Structure 1
Amino acid sequence: MRPAQRTAVGLLVVLALAFVALATWEPFAARRSFPPPARAYTAEIVRDEFGVPHIYGRTDADVAYGVAQAHAADDFTTLQDVIAMSKGRYGAIRGAEGAQVDYMYHLLGARATAERRYPLISADTRALFEAYAAGLNDFAAKHPGEVKLARLFPVNGLDVAAGFALRQPFFFGLADVIGPLVEGKPLRPEAGPPIPGSAPAAPAPAATVEPARRIAAAMPLPWGETGSMSGSNAFVVAPKASGGPSVLVSNSHQPWKGGVAWYELVVESGEGWHFAGANFPGSPYPFLGHNRHLGWTNTVNRPDMIDVYKLVLDESGTKYRIGGTWVPLEQRTVTLPVRIGPVVLPVRRTVWRSAHGPVIKNEQGAFAVRYGGIDRLDQLDAYYRLNKAKSFAEWEAQIARMAIPSTNFLYADETGTIAYVYNAAIPQRTPGPNWRGVLPGDDPALIWTGPVPYAALPKYVNPPSGWLFNANNTPFSAAGRGSDLASTVVPPEMGVELGMTNRARRSWRLLSEATRGGGKLDRATLEAIKFDTGYDAAGHVAEMLRAVRAVDPRGDKRLAEARALVLGWDRYADNIGRGDALALMLNREYMSSSYQGKPWPDAEKELTKAKDHLLRHFGRLDPPMSELLRLRRGPGPNSVDLPLDGGSDTLRASTLWDVAEDGRLIVKHGDSFVMWAEWYPGQRVQSRSIQPFGSATTRPSSPHYTDQSTLFVQHRMKPVRFWRDDVMANARSRKVVRHRPER
């Protein structure tokens, strides 16, 4: 063999070895988890006519084991994604997008938080998490062909808990701070009113970051209401206002698939755990819903939960100053796995931490971030106790722990009590400094150590109006004239938001009108409000109409027609008005600017874009909106393609969508799991629910893949089979699952 040939062969061998190494290194480098402690579990899974699992067990831990088995049978692919996130391995599945999540996992120290805090959680709560992990392990062992990533299993309770530690800060907007710091973009304005007498805010830090660093950017994240295009509605009504039952309407707006898509279930154990509701993938219990005595739902709130500090570094960049002392900056080098085709690249990154919290370095310096709920994990226990609460006093005692970092809670129960708690672990800040700006990192007095007391939070219990709502708006508009709290009940440094959404304006007005003069919020009236598709001429809608009115078509006939259609729009996204389709497309951009605090869009540009889209795909400017806005899932034997109504920031929400090749807008975020519970005096609780698709969320061949879709688009709900006799009368399948530890 000639030297040149030997060189070529050698190069090929080296390349082949390199390819094999890149294709196989990641599972061997990944952290290996010990399996949960040896214990036997037995659960019965009964599915009703819509495939909703009803999970029974002798103990709560038995039920948690069954929850994992039932959910995996319907959506094992998403559960694996969540587990990969909780181990810092999501990039090995989803490439650069997954590496963004893995970077956050390391930056926030999610694993370290779980390792410190999980052992301190009560033993019965940890037993749920270990049982849930065992259920995932058993499903993976029985279905090896579905496992996405080598050595992802076994998992244990601590792994599941690490997922909670990773996700919890993003529901109050941490990504909106971390992302810009990493990418060198300006920070968004923080929540809350200005603080009187405080110093002007320091300039927002910015930097030019090399392109390779963008793999570690914090946005976008695959979690629900973490971005600014978010929303949920919640209503609770006391018997005096309904004319009959206590009512809880849970109307969460989440993505329709993925890590925070709702999964409906009913659980019941011999230890008194009996609850109907929904959870997210990776949770052994529901996060909202009802038991026989009481129920609650959540909406995202946005108080000022995050503080940014500019650190003073020494010349080496390895120490920062606190008071008069130089302290070493904690530093770790981590490896992010990034899948590109058949190979996984190891990308090395450095993460830093100070006494304040995670640290991001850019060309403007080093910035530390501190947020409410930092280094806490007791929400694992609080949610479990909420599930089993039997009275308002028991329920409120768990909320008062301040263990759940954020989200509003709206509550109703069998006694007729209704309540709204603006729940948030808001930092206990001292008056004086400008907490809305970038703070000096060398002042130890600015490093707060805990949340405000529970008594300081805005809250309502049994307001005179007899009703409460929230639609991601200020808590000072919640109960109607004469019942609303004044914003002066909280100090400005708490950063409680003052803004209103269109959904909030509509809710307040429609609820007030319905109960004026002794009117009642009966079921039909409340359903009409919940499914309302109207917009008030205020906020971003008023700005959109003002801007369109100012557009000069300059002889462009079709642009003039489009302008006239929008200006003549009836402000309802109900598939009736001729301007509905055009207004739908424009409104989302204006809502986005409003929610994100960005400059308003260019009205002429957006109107032209919408005009061109409709002419290209429909040949007209005024197609029925239902032909444009679609609920679509498939292909497969159970595929659906159905018309939708509602829009961005309507009570009937169709918030976010993807644009299909045929020009249709395929909704992916909006009304998701809807539950309606009622407690009539002297009767058992009854409830109804609906989802956009079905229980078998990633099983296209299942009849429960899309079997709720037709009801969903028709504004109808299905019965929740809460009671065992009702479940068995409507059962479609029964299965017993068992775990027997190896000897």
Structure 2
Amino acid sequence: MKWLKGGAIALVAVLVAVFIALATWEPFFAPTSTAPEYREYSAEIVRDEFGVPMIYGETDADVAYGVAIAHAEDDFFTLQDVAAMSKGRYGAIAGEDGATFDFVYHLLDARGTAERKYPELPADTRALFEAYAAGLNQYAEEHPDEVKLGNLFPVNGTDIAAGFVLRQPFFYGLGNVVGPLVAGEELRREFGPDIPGFPHDGSGNEPDAPATADEVAEAGDVAMRNLVLPWGEDADHLGSNAWAVSPERSGGPTTLISNSHQPLRGGVAWYELGVQSGEGWHFTGANFPGSPFPFLGHNEDLGWTNTVNRPDMADIYQLEVNEAGTQYRLDDKWMDLETKTVTLPVKMGPITLPVRRTIYRSVHGPVIKNDKGYFAIRYGGMDSVAQLDAYYRINKAKTLEEWQAQIARMAIPSTNFLYADKAGNIAYVYNAAIPDRPDLDIVQANWRGILDGTRSDLIWEGTVDYAEIPKLINPASGWLYNSNNEPFTAAGAGSDLDPSDFSPVLGIERKQTNRSRRAYALLSAAEGPLDRAALERIKYDTAYERAGYVADLFDAAEKLDVTGNAELAEARDLLLTWDFTADNKGAADAIALLMIRDFMSAEYNNKNPDEMPDAAEYLLEKRTHLMTHFGRIDPPMSDLLRLRQGDVDLPLDGGSDTLRASTTWEVQDDGRLSLVHGDSFIQWVEWPADGGRVRSESVQPFGAATTRPDSPHYTDQMQLFVDHALKPVRFWEEDVRKHATSTRRVTNTR
């Protein structure tokens, strides 16, 4: 028995040692960064009555250093997540979902791209990023109790650049290519009309393609499936609205309305701030965690906002690989297939598992291996960090010409830009670093299908010229808008671009959203000036057009056979009384809200007609939900849809894909829908017609300190947001200081 007891003790000791190793290994084996070279920084952080910071500094770098500290004071929690993503370590914080980002981080070679390209940026741009990194490092050093992952800091400019490389391609839908290839799902890509050989049903089934989408992705690696799905359907709900109106059409000021739809929390949630330096940088707007500058907003002279666009910016190549899987053929040569084994940390409770994955790469780009072979991906913006410099430059542009010169670099991979300035100019640019594909015969190269990876003539270099992409400057209508729709409905009849003027090889999307249908109709019908009151009615419109997926839903409901099914008949009859508005007034608003999102999701994700939701099944499901939690199927919609943060719980209006957007929600234990994505940062900017100084207002759903429950600015904008109200933006220094509630000087020390 002694030997048995001794063996048990030894086994326990081994298990304890294994547990300790799994609980502690990751920080010690994780790649570390060298802190930026020391330099002195000094910034002043002045916060207004809503806690929004204006950061002052002698140099732009001083300001960037202050931006990092101010943001960390409000949301260091999320900044750490972004820092972990930029090092391929997010799985050590967020488990499987975090490992998703880490896998793609390695697949896209985010670190390698940053290391190669970041040193090539202009010195003043690099100085901005090094200063920002220094600010994050200082905050982490001064608040060690808030750091949630060992050896995460220090960070440097290369780390910040790697985060940009990782995130940007997914705004234009790269996840819709990567995900299906890895997970074994149907490849969903939108197809435009009038392209020989391409259907416009969004089915993804292309005639005469070398391989079908099903053949490409069939029987993918089940273990990797979970590493890709988080970039699935929810990513397609990222949207936005934007409007620009000339002084002639407004009857007063040049107006720019920014209405971005982003997640209300997390790594791509907006953070409001202002900056001003002695080097001429003076801007107010919002950024994402991990950026030293705003991505949208305005300076004294001009401003812009963005909406997501979805051009076809990714091409897929099937490789011919030798039996050993070590080489692929390109023309008449065999090339070595690059391989690298990476370790993904996956936190599971108190331990972190090391998960090994092999990453492949060819001259085309990243390579994904599945049961049907090896498939390379080449995409717009690949192997570039030039957007870091372009965003910085447009922050400091003073004229339309200066601003457009930076956009024309095609450095920012994708996003629609809506622009306005004090001179009365308005502009819309369908910005996209669209691949400069060879204009080959459609039979030779089906750019929307699976390309022959053995042909070097199909490997494009660079982007199309700026002159080739859609843009409108000062249209006769006097207004411009975008709501994630095609660029050919932007300015009204007589001012819109003609799609036939643009090559189909560009892969420009040809879609409308309900928001675009409503905005276009309301703007086009306006007979008087598009003044403040008229634009507010449009911005907060809660109506649906009976078109697209809304028509599909109601057509299906009207055709339902409800004979013998009283519950289905009751739900169907209620739905058919709906007045097509999500304004909290109708008895059918709640059940319509629940139904709409599923049909919208199916259309946005290019699902086949036979994959659309079953109207009867969904009606019964939604009826059950309402009866379970409300005891009735016609509760006020405002009882169902809520804006929640901490102890504050407020009613909301609007719906999925209305101009007043309450797009995505989380179903909570009490059956209420807590908004997680939709209207987020809203900014209303006006340049007076008399040449006076720019003025603006804004609002966020919660407040400036989104992850600080003890802060008075954790929830202080919620009522404004619910009431369709805005707060003043403190842009001019005398106004900032007059309304300051705190002023703090920050400096760095060794």
2:695 matched to 1:683?
A: no
Cα distance, 1:212 vs structure 2: 2.8
> Which residue of structure 2 lines up, in the alignment, with residue 304 of structure 1?
312
- Partner of residue 54, structure 2: 54
Following the alignment from structure 2 to structure 1, what is the Cα–Cα distance between the partners of residues 111 and 380? 18
Query: Does structure 1 conserve the Cα–Cα contact (< 8 Å) formed by 2:190 and 2:606?
Result: no
Letter paired with 2:565:
D
1:230 is aligned to 2:238:
yes
Task: Name structure 2 gaps, 5 residues minimum.
Answer: 199-206
Q: 1:416 aligns with which of 424, 438, 441?
A: 424
Q: What pairs up with 1:726-737 in 2 under 5 angstroms?
A: 726-737=735-746
Separation (CA, whole Å) in 2 of partners of 1:605 and 1:189: 27
Of 480, 483, 486, 1:471 maps to 483
* Displacement after TM superposition at 1:210 (Å): 4.5
Which of 658, 683, 689 is the matching residue for 2:666? 658
CA distance in 1, matches of 2:460, 2:220: 30
1:530 maps to which residue? 539
Letter aligned with residue 27 of structure 2:
P
SS across alignment from 1:112:
helix
Aligned counterpart in structure 2 of residue 347 of structure 1, from 324, 348, 355? 355
Matched residue type, 1:257: R
Change (3 A) 1:371 1:6: same
Instruction: Specify the code of the residue in structure 2 equivalent to 1:351.
Output: I
- Tell me if the contact between 2:45 and 2:70 (Cα under 8 Å) persists in the aligned partners: yes
Query: Which of 594, 598, 602 is equivalent to 1:593?
Result: 602
Q: 2:731 aligns with which of 709, 716, 722?
A: 722
Q: Does 1:324 align with 2:335?
A: no
Q: Deviations over 1:609-651 (max 9, x none)?
A: 11111111111111110000000111xxxx2100000001100
Q: Separation in 1 of the partners of 2:15 and 2:344?
A: 22
Contact conserved, 2:190 with 2:509, CA < 8 A, in 1?
no
Aligned-partner Cα distance in 1 for 2:744–2:499: 53
Q: Which residue of 2 aligns with 1:206?
A: 217
- 1:57-77 Cα offsets, whole Å, 9 max, x none, are 000000000000000000001
Query: CA offsets, 1:213-248, max 9 Å, x none?
Result: 335x323149xx972222100000000110011000
* Whole-angstrom distance in 2 between the partners of 1:240 and 1:414: 13
The amino acid of 1:642's aligned partner reads L
Question: Identity rate of aligned residues, in percent?
Answer: 63
Give the SS at the match of 2:152.
coil
SS in 1 for 2:431: coil
Candidates 457, 482, 498, aligned match of 1:486: 498
Partner amino acid, structure 1, of 2:546 = A
> 3-state DSSP class of the match of 2:237?
coil
From 545, 551, 571, give the equivalent of 1:542. 551
Q: Distance in 1 between matches of 2:742 and 2:384?
A: 40
State the distance in 2 between where 1:74 and 1:442 align: 51
Distance 1:190 1:173 in 2: 11
Q: Deviation per CA, 1:5-59: give whole Å up to 9, x if none.
A: 1111111111111111111111111111100011000000010000000100000
Q: More deviation in 425-434 or 142-151?
A: 425-434
Query: Structure 1, residues 183-204: CA drift from partner, whole Å, max 9, x if none?
Result: 1111112454463258623311
- 1:193 and 1:497 in contact (8 A); partners too: no
Could you tell me how far 1:317 is from its partner in structure 2?
Answer: 1.1
Q: Which amino acid aligns with 2:585?
A: I
Q: How do 1:500-539 residues align onto structure 2 when only pairs under 5 Å count?
A: 500-514=512-526, 516=527, 519-539=528-548
User: Would you say 1:145 and 2:145 are equivalent positions?
Assistant: yes
- The aligned residue for residue 389 of structure 1 is 397
Counterpart of 1:440 (choices 434, 452, 463) is: 452
**CA shift at 1:208, angstroms?**
2.1
1:403-425 CA deviation, whole Å, 9 max, x = no partner? 00000000000000000000000
Secondary structure of 1:367 counterpart = strand
> Deviation string for 1:560-584 (max 9, x for gaps)?
1211121111000000111100100
Contact 1:293/1:413 (8 A) holds in 2:
yes
Give the Cα separation in 1 of the matches to 2:387 and 2:173: 18
- The unaligned stretches of length 5 or more in structure 1 are none
Aligned match for 1:611, one of 611, 623, 633: 623
The CA deviation at 1:708 is: 0.2
**Partners of 1:11 and 1:670 in 2: how far apart?**
53
CA displacement, residues 661-714 of structure 1 (integer Å, 9 cap, x when unaligned): 111011100000000000003210000000000000100111100100000000
| Rounded Cα–Cα distance in structure 2 between residues aligned with 1:118 and 1:188 | 33
* CA 210–305 in structure 1, closer or farther in 2 if over 3 Å, else same: closer
Equivalent residue number for residue 406 of structure 1:
414
Change (3 A) 1:661 1:226: closer
Equivalent position amino acid for 1:524 in 2: A
Partner of 1:469: helix, strand, or coil? Answer: strand
CA distance in 2, matches of 1:19, 1:220: 29
The aligned residue for residue 201 of structure 2 is none
State the alpha-carbon separation in 1 of the partners of residues 431 and 691 from structure 2.
31
Name the aligned partner's letter for residue 502 of structure 2: V
| Number of aligned residues | 731
Counterpart check, 1:239 vs 2:212: no
Is the counterpart of residue 692 in structure 1 residue 701 in structure 2? yes
In 2, Cα distance between the equivalents of 1:653 and 1:167? 24
Q: Which amino acid aligns with 1:80?
A: Q
Q: For the residues of structure 1 that align with 2:295 and 2:193, how far apart are their CA atoms?
A: 30
Quote the residue 2:577 is aligned against: 568
Distance (Å, rounded) in 2 between the aligned partners of 1:219 and 1:591: 19
1:256 to 246, 264, 267: 264
Q: Structure 1 length normalisation: TM-score? A: 0.97
Residues 55 and 66, structure 2, Cα contact 8 Å, conserved in 1:
yes
- Conservation of the 8 A alpha-carbon contact between 1:107 and 1:358: yes
CA 1:650–1:182 in 2, change beyond 3 Å: closer, same or farther?
same
Stretch deviating more after TM superposition (225-234 or 314-323): 225-234
- 1:709-728 deviation line (CA, Å, top 9, x unaligned): 00000000000000011111
Counterpart CA distance in 2 for 1:724 and 1:419 is 29
Whether the 8 Å CA contact 1:50–1:707 is kept in 2: the answer is yes
Deviations 1:477-536 (A, max 9, x none): 00001000110111111110111111001111101111x3xx100000000100000001
Q: CA deviation at 1:81?
A: 0.2
Alpha-carbon shift at residue 207 of structure 1 (Å): 2.9
TM-score by length of 2: 0.96
Distance across 2 between alignment mates of 1:502 and 1:31:
46
Deviations 1:383-417 (A, max 9, x none): 00000000000000000000000000000000000
- Residue 206 of structure 1 deviates from its aligned partner by 2.0
More displaced, 374-383 or 560-569?
560-569
| Pair 1:373-2:381 in alignment | yes
Look up the equivalent residue of 2:300 and give its one-letter code.
Answer: R
Correspondence 1:583 to 2:592: yes
Contact 1:313–1:321 (Cα < 8 Å) also in 2:
yes
Contact 2:567/2:620 (8 A) holds in 1: no
For the Cα contact (< 8 Å) 1:322–1:443, is it kept in 2?
Answer: yes
